[in-house]
Structure 1
Amino acid sequence: MYYYRYENAEVSCCYKYLMFSYNIIFWLFGAALIAAGLWAWSEKGVLQDLSVLTRVGGFDPVWAVLAAGVVMFILGFAGCVGALRENLCLLKAFSTMVGLVFVVEVLVVVLVLVFQSQVLEWIQTFFMNNIRGYRDDIDLQNLIDSLQTSTWCCGAQGPDDWEHNQYFSCNSSNPSRERCGVPFSCCVIDPAEYVVNSQCGYDVRHKQKSDWPELIHSRGCIPAIEAWLPGNLYTVALVFTVISVLQMLGIYLARSLITDIYKVQINHIRNPVY
């Protein structure tokens, strides 16, 4: 029975084209992310002058987009071409890389759970650095505005964190019209307003703190995220589970194809065609 299986060995077309279909989506999506990242850099003049990157005070979100795009493009390429060409090298590289990504994801989750206080300190430092560079990069600015708007928060621990930004500082030597204010994304938006007032945060920190809740969100973004996580733990777990299942599916398809290819090769060795 063992030799009979080898004599009739062939590469499963089902697994082969499932593997191709599975990876073509990631390949194309990775290419789209790379194109979007390069376009964003082009708009900011980075491709014409690389020194622009050194002048960004905080984290440039384009780095994350490009990194994700490159990883997805490489994995998608290895999976697609490896499946179509029945290339053992590419299939092994794909399954190994996906396995490493999965291990890194699990390791990150474990480290976050074990070292929660240190992670929160790191997030605090990271957020403060990005507050300082808020006006230096439009993508960073949009990212912080989206976070503050979606979680109804302001600053890392509170609105006073914006004192660390040179444009919002209350320093008397600051000539900015935004002095002693906060970004518009900190404002409590009236649902009846269809147009966002971009000047709603002007001079807010000049006023009494007791008046802030009516004008701006007085809770910091880190406490907001801490409060959001417990209530959405199942959602986070579900997302992680879906991603893990997709990764395991990719590894399973790749290893199945590798096994089939090996069987075909052994069959050719035992039953050479002259």
Structure 2
Amino acid sequence: MDCGVITSKTVLLLLSLAFWAAAAGLTYVGAYVINTYRSYDSFLQDKYALLPAVIILAIAVVMFIIGLIGWCSTFRESRLGLGLFLAIILIIFIAEVSAFVLGFVYREKVKADVQVTMRSVFEKYDGKSEESTIMDYLQEQLHCCGVKNYSDWTTTQWFNATGNNSVPLSCCMQEMNCTGRLDQPQELYTRGCADELESGLQSVISYAMLVILGFAIVKFFGMLSVCVLTCRREDSGYQPLYSGVFA
């Protein structure tokens, strides 16, 4: 075998191993994105924002099998197997590019989506409903208060109904000795939840996009290696040491 064939086989074998490692990595990324969105799904109207994560998980499901096909086909230099491997890589490459584009689109839509839906949930706060529990959880986890800042609570029906000039205790930096009263602002979170949520969701999407882009680049070089290996084999008449079912 010449240097080009050896290099191509090495790349493809490493790519097969990368498929197995990527299966675990993509599963983690996809699950993390979905879990993050589910934590704040009441603030997101556009459920298609989960589409990039769903695509990532779908790719991860078949990743181990694809790695096995690639390993066996490369080791045996099966023309049919390598052709199948190339087709699979091409399909995944297209899916990853699509996920990358969708991630970019929805990353830009997050800000408008969060602003509208958060305001709707915020105005329905009564301290008892499911929406109220979600709002309290959001403020506690993100260390924020209100949509823009804690003064937003003064315009809500809940604030007027209680009449004690205070915000929910979830706005307190420390629960001990904090009553949520507006005349003690030093005890309250000052940043609004909209900015915190937007920043968090955009960071998650950006991370997922970076991972997708990295794997897409690897797939591109893998497709080139398959082409080199099959073309060199046909041109040189080289016969592999092992013959397989797909040879």
TM interval, shorter chain, is 0.5 to 0.7
Q: Distance in 2 between matches of 1:263 and 1:107?
A: 39
Q: How does 1:106-255 map to 2 (within 5 A)?
A: 106-107=104-105, 112=108, 120-129=111-120, 131=122, 136=130, 144-145=138-139, 148-149=142-143, 153-161=144-152, 169-170=158-159, 172=161, 181-184=167-170, 186-189=171-174, 197=175, 200=178, 202=179, 204=180, 207=181, 209=182, 211-223=183-195, 243=211, 246-255=214-223
Q: Distance in 2 between matches of 1:107 and 1:25?
A: 28
More displaced stretch, 25-34 vs 153-162: 25-34
SS in 2 for 1:99: helix
SS in 2 for 1:170: helix
Q: TM-score, normalised by structure 2?
A: 0.56
Change (3 A) 1:164 1:98: farther
Decide whether the 8 Å contact of 1:102 with 1:247 is kept in 2.
no
Partner of 1:93: 91
Aligned residues with identical type, % of pairs: 12
Q: Which amino acid aligns with 2:24?
A: L
Q: Which amino acid aligns with 1:98?
A: E
Q: Distance in 2 between matches of 1:265 and 1:165?
A: 73
Report how many aligned residue pairs link the two structures.
215
Change (3 A) 1:12 1:154: same
Q: Distance in 1 between matches of 2:225 and 2:101?
A: 22
Change (3 A) 1:31 1:271: closer
Partner of 2:79: none
SS in 2 for 1:15: helix
SS in 2 for 1:188: coil
- 1:73 matched to 2:60? The reply is yes
Q: Which has the higher contact order (CA 8 A, sep 6+)?
A: 2
SS in 1 for 2:159: coil
Q: CA RMSD in A?
A: 5.3
Partner of 1:47: none
SS in 1 for 2:190: coil
Deviation at 1:213, TM superposition (A): 2.2
Deviation at 1:265, TM superposition (A): 6.5
Q: Distance in 1 between matches of 2:94 and 2:65?
A: 11
Cα-to-partner distance string for 1:111-165 (whole Å, 9 max, x where unaligned): x3xxxxx86443211333454589638995697246522xxx2121123555798
Decide whether the 8 Å contact of 1:27 with 1:76 is kept in 2.
yes
Structure 2: gaps spanning 5 or more residues: 74-81, 241-247
Q: Distance in 2 between matches of 1:12 and 1:138?
A: 58
Deviation at 1:216, TM superposition (A): 0.6
Cα-to-partner distance string for 1:240-274 (whole Å, 9 max, x where unaligned): 89547623432333322331354266459x6789x
